[in-house]
């Protein structure tokens, strides 16, 4: 039986999973803030930083399908609490590591431990709350989770004035472990609908609707995570010439916008679902805005950079829209698997975009510690080209339906006796319009 959206349900189900989502966003974006400290302390280069940050997404993506199956089989309470303890161990190892390999392993442990943070929260809202409120609650959950990205800017920078990055990760390790224990103790158990893993996964990956939406959702959302999670910082430093104070301020504004975007998308999806309208058009509009914002950056359009970067940040919360679409496609017992399957592509693309961007940037030498604008234009441009291709793919069914509709409209040519068109070839291969008393007939 579903519990009502009352304080008991919010406190025992919604807030514990929102806390896990908060930590996931914080760990995802914290590398952008401490990148300079890591480079100076450990001697990491640009490509090393790109791999260190992106391995979080790689492990996250690889774990999504197994975690989706586990969520459907054992429920979000047990899966989330166990994985948060693993993330706490990874954060503790990160705080103690000095070599690149140890940092990489610790970062991978954090990524695996946070791999269920979002999907477990989405699964919990589906299990415990009314269906017509799921999209709205998901928007609120991602909005609260996005506060982790806010924490990873100005608040964390303030802490770094009297703590070093190792002590900061020690605090994060303790907070993550405490959250894992909280989820296990506070969240109630819920009966799980049994299903066959092989059959259900085939029903997700064999669905043409899934492959229509997945490339667009993955390229746009994954790219937004990649940019805000790492490459916004060097762009603002190398291209815009920001100092540390201005950089942190802009990252802070982007994070605030990120929270507002999750709330806005939740309201929009809730609004269209109440009117029994699909959320697919919202995703297409978001993708178009994302592409336009990145083109503004690449082409150097003279607008304040906070505008396009804020759009990029907002796109990172469009998971609210994507998961709302997926929720309409599949039944309750497939919710974890379907969300996990889509998240594989989200985080897999974030990994590729973040790591490949670093490789492309390293093809240009630095001058006074800064890379040229053309390096970023090429790296970002490759990413945008793929997003445009994904948007075209997403639009193909609509374009085919429009073309088919126009093709079904007969073309009438008014004629009279004096201008009858002589047929070419045989009678069977031609169509002649003949006058009649009633007008034109075939």
Please tell me the distance from the alpha carbon of residue 277 to that of residue 167, in angstroms, as a whole number: 49
What are the beta bridge partners of residue 370? 367
Asked if the model's pLDDT at residue 80 lies above 80, the reply is: yes
In a domain, 411, yes or no: no
Please tell me the distance from the alpha carbon of residue 428 to that of residue 368, in angstroms, as a whole number: 77
pLDDT band at 437 (very low <50, low <70, confident <90, very high): very low
The CA-based diameter of the chain, rounded to the nearest angstrom, is 95
Between 402 and 413, residue with greater pLDDT:
402
Using DSSP, how many helices (H) and how many strands (E) does the chain show?
19, 2
Asked if the model's pLDDT at residue 193 lies above 60, the reply is: no
Q: Residue 189 contacts by C-beta under 8 Å, 6 or more apart in sequence?
A: 75, 77
Between 271 and 191, residue with greater pLDDT:
271
Question: Average model confidence (pLDDT) for the chain?
Answer: 83
pLDDT for 408 equals 62
| Integer angstrom CA distances of residue 344 from 58, 127, 219, 350 | 9, 22, 12, 10
Q: Where are the alpha helices (DSSP H) in 300-367?
A: 306-315, 319-329, 335-361
pLDDT for 434 equals 39
Query: Which of 155-169, 288-302, 333-347, 358-372 is modeled with the greatest confidence?
Result: 288-302
Q: Where are the beta strands (DSSP E) in 53-146?
A: none
In a domain, 249, yes or no: yes
In a domain, 69, yes or no: yes
pLDDT band at 402 (very low <50, low <70, confident <90, very high): low
pLDDT for 432 equals 37
Extract the tokens encoding 134: 């799921």
In a domain, 441, yes or no: no
How many other CB atoms are found less than 10 A from the CB of residue 69? 19
Structural domain boundaries enclosing 118: 9-190+201-396
Half-sphere exposure of 182 (CA within 13 A, CB side): 16
pLDDT for 279 equals 85
In a domain, 1, yes or no: no
Q: Residue 127 contacts by C-beta under 8 Å, 6 or more apart in sequence?
A: 75, 76, 190, 332
pLDDT for 142 equals 86
Asked if the model's pLDDT at residue 26 lies above 90, the reply is: yes
DSSP readout, 132-200? GGHHHHHHHHHHHHHHHHHHTTHHHHHHTTTS-HHHHHHHHHHHHHHHHHHHHHHSPP-------HHHH
pLDDT band at 425 (very low <50, low <70, confident <90, very high): very low
pLDDT band at 435 (very low <50, low <70, confident <90, very high): very low
Q: What is the pLDDT of residues 317-355, one digit of tens each?
A: 898 899 888 878 887 677 777 888 888 899 889 888 988
* φ, ψ dihedrals at 285, nearest 5°: -65, -45
Share of the chain above pLDDT 90, in %: 38
319 exposure class (CB count in 10 Å sphere: 0-12, 13-18, 19+): buried
In a domain, 254, yes or no: yes
| Integer angstrom CA distances of residue 212 from 142, 208, 216, 269, 323 | 24, 6, 8, 19, 14
pLDDT for 205 equals 82
Q: What is the pLDDT of residues 142-181, one digit of tens each?
A: 889 889 988 988 898 888 888 899 999 999 999 999 999 9
pLDDT for 13 equals 87
| Segment among 3-7, 30-34, 334-338, 412-416 with least mean pLDDT | 412-416
Extract the tokens encoding 265: 């998308």
Between 416 and 364, residue with greater pLDDT:
364
pLDDT for 410 equals 57
pLDDT for 192 equals 52
Please tell me the distance from the alpha carbon of residue 221 to that of residue 315, in angstroms, as a whole number: 6
Asked if the model's pLDDT at residue 40 lies above 50, the reply is: yes
Please tell me the distance from the alpha carbon of residue 425 to that of residue 74, in angstroms, as a whole number: 71
Q: Can you say whether the dihedral through the CA atoms of 136, 350, 244, 105 is positive or negative?
A: positive
Asked if the model's pLDDT at residue 14 lies above 70, the reply is: yes
In a domain, 297, yes or no: yes
Mean of pLDDT values over 37-50: 81
In a domain, 319, yes or no: yes
pTM, full prediction? 0.73
Q: What is the pLDDT of residues 103-121, one digit of tens each?
A: 999 999 999 999 999 889 8
Asked if the model's pLDDT at residue 400 lies above 90, the reply is: no
Asked if the model's pLDDT at residue 389 lies above 80, the reply is: yes
pLDDT band at 3 (very low <50, low <70, confident <90, very high): very low
Q: What is the pLDDT of residues 219-241, one digit of tens each?
A: 999 999 889 877 898 899 999 98
Q: What is the pLDDT of residues 236-266, one digit of tens each?
A: 999 998 988 888 889 889 988 988 888 889 8
Please tell me the distance from the alpha carbon of residue 146 to that of residue 23, in angstroms, as a whole number: 9
Please tell me the distance from the alpha carbon of residue 233 to that of residue 33, in angstroms, as a whole number: 8
Q: What is the pLDDT of residues 306-318, one digit of tens each?
A: 999 999 999 998 9
Domains contained in the chain, number: 1
289 exposure class (CB count in 10 Å sphere: 0-12, 13-18, 19+): middle
pLDDT band at 422 (very low <50, low <70, confident <90, very high): very low
pLDDT for 199 equals 46
Asked if the model's pLDDT at residue 379 lies above 60, the reply is: yes
Asked if the model's pLDDT at residue 202 lies above 80, the reply is: no
CATH code of 319's domain: 1.20.1250.20
Containing 42, the helix (H) or strand (E) segment is: helix 15-42
């Amino acid at each position: 039986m579903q519990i009502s959206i009352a304080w008991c349900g919010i406190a025992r189900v919604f807030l514990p999973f929102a806390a896990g989502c908060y930590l996931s966003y914080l760990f995802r974006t914290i590398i952008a803030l401490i990148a300079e400290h890591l480079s100076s302390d450990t001697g990491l280069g640009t490509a090393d930083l790109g791999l260190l940050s992106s391995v979080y997404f790689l492990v996250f993506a690889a774990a999504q399908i197994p975690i989706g199956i586990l969520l459907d089989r054992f429920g979000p309470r047990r899966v989330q609490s166990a994985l948060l303890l693993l993330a706490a161990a990874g954060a503790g190892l990160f705080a103690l590591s000095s070599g690149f390999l140890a940092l990489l392993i610790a970062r991978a442990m954090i990524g695996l431990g946070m791999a269920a943070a979002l999907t477990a929260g989405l699964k919990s809202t589906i299990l415990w709350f009314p269906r017509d409120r799921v999209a709205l609650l998901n928007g609120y959950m991602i909005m609260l989770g996005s506060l982790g990205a806010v924490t990873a800017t100005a608040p964390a920078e303030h802490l770094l004035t009297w703590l070093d990055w190792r002590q900061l990760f020690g605090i994060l390790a303790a907070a993550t472990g405490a959250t894992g224990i909280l989820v296990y103790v506070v969240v109630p158990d819920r009966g799980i609908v049994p299903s066959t893993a092989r059959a259900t996964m085939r029903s997700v990956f064999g669905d043409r609707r899934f492959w229509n939406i997945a490339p667009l959702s993955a390229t746009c959302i994954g790219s937004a995570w990649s940019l805000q999670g790492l490459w916004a910082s060097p762009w603002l430093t190398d291209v815009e010439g920001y100092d540390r104070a201005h950089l942190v301020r802009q990252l802070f504004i982007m994070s605030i916008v990120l929270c507002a975007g999750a709330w806005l998308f939740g309201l929009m999806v809730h609004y269209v679902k109440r009117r029994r309208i699909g959320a697919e058009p919202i995703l297409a509009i978001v993708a178009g805005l994302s592409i336009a914002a990145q083109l503004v950056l690449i082409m150097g359009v003279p607008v304040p950079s906070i505008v396009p970067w804020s759009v990029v940040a907002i796109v990172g919360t469009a998971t609210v829209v994507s998961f709302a679409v997926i929720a309409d496609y599949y039944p309750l017992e497939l919710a974890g698997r379907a969300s996990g399957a889509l998240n594989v592509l989200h985080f897999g693309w974030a990994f590729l975009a973040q790591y490949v961007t670093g490789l492309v940037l390293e093809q240009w030498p630095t001058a006074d510690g800064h890379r040229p604008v053309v390096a970023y234009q090429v790296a970002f441009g490759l990413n945008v080209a793929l997003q445009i291709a994904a948007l075209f793919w997403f639009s193909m069914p609509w374009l085919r339906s429009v073309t088919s509709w126009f093709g079904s409209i007969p073309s009438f040519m008014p004629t009279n006796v004096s201008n009858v068109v002589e047929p070419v070839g045989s009678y069977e291969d031609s169509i002649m319009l003949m006058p009649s008393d009633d007008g034109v007939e075939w």
